Every structure is written in structure tokens, then in C-alpha cells.
Chain A
Amino acid sequence: MTAKNKQQPVDEQLLLSAAKHTLRDRVDGLDAETLDRLAAIRHRAVASASQGRAREWRLANWLTPAGGFVTAAALVVAVMLWSSTSVINEPAPVAVLEDIKILTDSEDLDFYQDLEFYQWLAVNEQAVS
């Protein structure tokens, strides 16, 4: 270890000590105007803490019923949307097998329109016979 290296930690300690002293002196020696302004800022900050709490409390009081109303409104909207989408999403009428049979059949369309009557007639004829 060289003499210079041995000296380094001492220099560092001196520097730190001088810096600490200087900075503390400056902190303690702040001018009156700066101190007054710092005090004014502090008073404003402390006052704002109380106001902040009060504001939060008022907001919470307002939000609780408002929250209930919003939930109810959201539920109503959700139900409406669900019911409307269920109508909208209903599949468009398509020709089922039976319809295709009717459409392609050579029988007269009137026959199918009176089909219920023929069925009733058949049942009654069987009953009579």
C-alpha cells in the first residue's frame, strides 16, 4: 500500500465531515423569509390534510347510494341486452325437412292446408266403423 493510498480514507472522512458540517450549517442558517415561506407552506399542507379527509368522506357518502343505483341500472341494462340479443339471435326460419317435403310434393298445396281436417275425418271414420 502506497502512502497515497493510506491517506485516501482520511481524505474521504474529512470530506464527509466537512460536507456534513457545511450542509447542517446551511440548514440551520436559512434566512427568515425562506423560513416564513416554509411555515406558510406547512400550514397549507396540514390544512389540506383535513380537507382531503373531509372530501374523501363526502365522496364516499355520495358514492355509496350512487354505487347502488349504478349496480341496479347495470343489472336492468344487462337484462334488457340479454333479452334483446336472445330475440335478435333467434335463428332465421329455415325450411325444415317437413317443409321441403311439402314444397317438393306434387300434391296440391290446398291438401296440406286442410291436412288437419283430413286427419280429424280419418279418426272419426275409424271411430264410426
Chain B
Amino acid sequence: MTDQENQSLNQFLMSAERQAYRMAFIATGSREDALDIVQDGMLKLAQKYGDRTAADWGPLFHRIIQSTIRDWYRRQKVRNRWRTWLEFTKAGTLQRSSKDTADAGDESGGQNIIDLFEDLHAPGPALKLVNERTIDALEVALHRLPLRQQQAFLLRVLEGLSVEETANAMGCTQGSVKTHFSRAIHTLRKQLEDHRE
């Protein structure tokens, strides 16, 4: 690749990296995982499609990032099943011990099992701010959306893609994008209303 081509690829990646990172972060809830996803996406784009025109890079990068997120999600699903089971066991122990503590008159009490599950899905350090700022509540609500709904929502709202472009990035039909997007809005609205209450 010539220096000029390198420069234009660099420019493109610079313009896309923050949003890609943000989407990956909302999906994973982890900075390290999000950076890994962006890294995989950038390397793949550069090595496989570096010789394409700048106009092709946008849709290709969206598609690569979305499929990398999906791959991560599939791997996590299996890992989370084990983790959830382990947390369940741990939570059972905690619940029993906190009940014992409460019975002993300690007012601090212990976390209930629902809280422990929320911990598992909340985006790390931001968790402590969940009830303090609506902005965090929205991000948490986005993080909790089913992956396909989340992808459709973020691509449409954050990236400002059309239904057709979103379908291309997600590798599905335009009808599916409309369904995922509509369900995402419904779920978010409901979750935020619950948060307000």
C-alpha cells in the first residue's frame, strides 16, 4: 500500500474507532473486550480490505465489527452459563449467610439474588452510578437488550445508518432490522419507565 492509501485508511479508522469501541463496550460491558473487538475488526479490515476504496470501508467495517461482537457474544454465552451457575451457588451461600446476619440484627443485610444477577450484567464500574444518573440507566438498559435488538438500535441511532445499511451490517433482512429496532424501543421504554418508578 502507498503512503497515501495508508493515510486514508488511518483517517477512516480514526473517524470510526470511537463509535465502534462504544458499541462494543455496550455489548460486552468490558473495556478490554471492547478494545479486543475493535482491534480484531481493524486488523481484519486493514489486512483483507485495505486495498478497497474508502467508500467500501464503512459498510465493511460495520459488518466486521458486528460479526466480531456476535462471535464474542456466542463465546460468552457458553461461559456465562457456567458463571451464572457458579454465581447461583455462591448467591445461595451468600443469601443464607446474609439471612443469618439479618437474623442476628445486622441492618446492612446482604444482596438478594436479583441484585447479584444485575451485577453480572451491569457494565463494570458504571454499576454504582446506575441509580444516580438516568444517562447510566439508559446505557445499562441498552447493555441489557438482546444482542440483535441492541445492534439494530445502535446502528440506527448512534451510527445513523438506514434500514438497508443496518441490514447489511447485521447480515439480515430489512424486515428483521425493523422488528429488532421496534422491539428495542419498546424494551428500552419499559426499562426506563421501571427505572423512573
Q: Which residue of B lies closest to A24 (CB)?
A: B158
> How many residues of A sit at the interface, in one of the four size bands?
20 to 34
A34 at interface (Cβ–Cβ under 8 A)?
Answer: yes
Give the residue among A41, A46, A50 with the most B Cβ atoms within 10 A.
Answer: A46
- A46 B46 Cβ-Cβ under 8 A: yes
Q: How far, in angstroms, from A16 to B9 measured CA to CA in the complex?
A: 31
- Chain B residue nearest in CB terms to A26: B22
Distance (Å) between the CB of A36 and the closest chain B CB?
A: 11
- Total interface residues in chain B, CB < 8 Å: 36
- Given contacts A19-B188, A23-B157, A27-B158, are A45 and B43 in contact (CB under 8 A)? yes
Name the distance in Å between B115's Cβ and chain A's nearest Cβ: 24
Q: Which of B31-39, B68-76, B164-172 lies at the interface with chain A? A: B31-39
B50–A42 touching, CB < 8 Å: no
The CA of A41 and the CA of B5, in the complex, are separated in Å by 18
Bitwise, A24-52 to B at CB < 8 A (1) or not (0) is 11111010001101110111111011101
By the criterion CB–CB under 8 Å, are B18 and A38 in contact? Answer: yes
Bound CA span A15–B17, Å: 25
With beta carbons under 8 angstroms apart, the residue of A22, A28, A42 that contacts B138 is A22
Q: Which chain A residue lies CB-closest to B185?
A: A12
Chain A interface mostly = helix
B residues near A22, Cβ cutoff 8 Å: 135, 138-139
- Whether a CB of chain B sits under 8 angstroms from the CB of A11 is yes
Interface string of B131-172 (1 = CB under 8 A from A): 000010011001000000000011001100000000000000
Contacts of B41-64 to chain A: CB distance below 8 A: 42-43, 45-48, 50-51
What are the residues of chain B within 8 A of A39 when measuring CB–CB? 14
Residues of A within 8 A of B138 (CB): 18-19, 22
Report the bound CA distance from A49 to B6 in whole Å.
8
A51 to chain B, nearest CB (A): 8
Q: Is B102 an interface residue (CB 8 A)?
A: no
By a CB distance below 8 angstroms, the chain A residues around B42 are 41-42, 44-45
Chain A residues in contact with chain B, CB under 8 A? 11-12, 15-16, 18-20, 22-28, 30, 34-35, 37-39, 41-46, 48-50, 52-53
Some 15 contacts from A to B, beta carbons below 8 A apart, are A12-B185, A12-B189, A19-B157, A20-B158, A26-B139, A34-B21, A38-B21, A39-B14, A45-B39, A45-B45, A46-B10, A46-B13, A49-B6, A49-B46, A52-B47
- Interchain residue pairs A-B with the least CB separation, the first 4: A49-B50, A45-B42, A49-B46, A52-B47
> Apart from A11-B189, A23-B157, A52-B48, what 10 extra A-B contacts exist at CB < 8 Å?
A12-B185, A12-B189, A19-B153, A26-B22, A26-B139, A27-B19, A44-B39, A49-B5, A49-B47, A50-B1
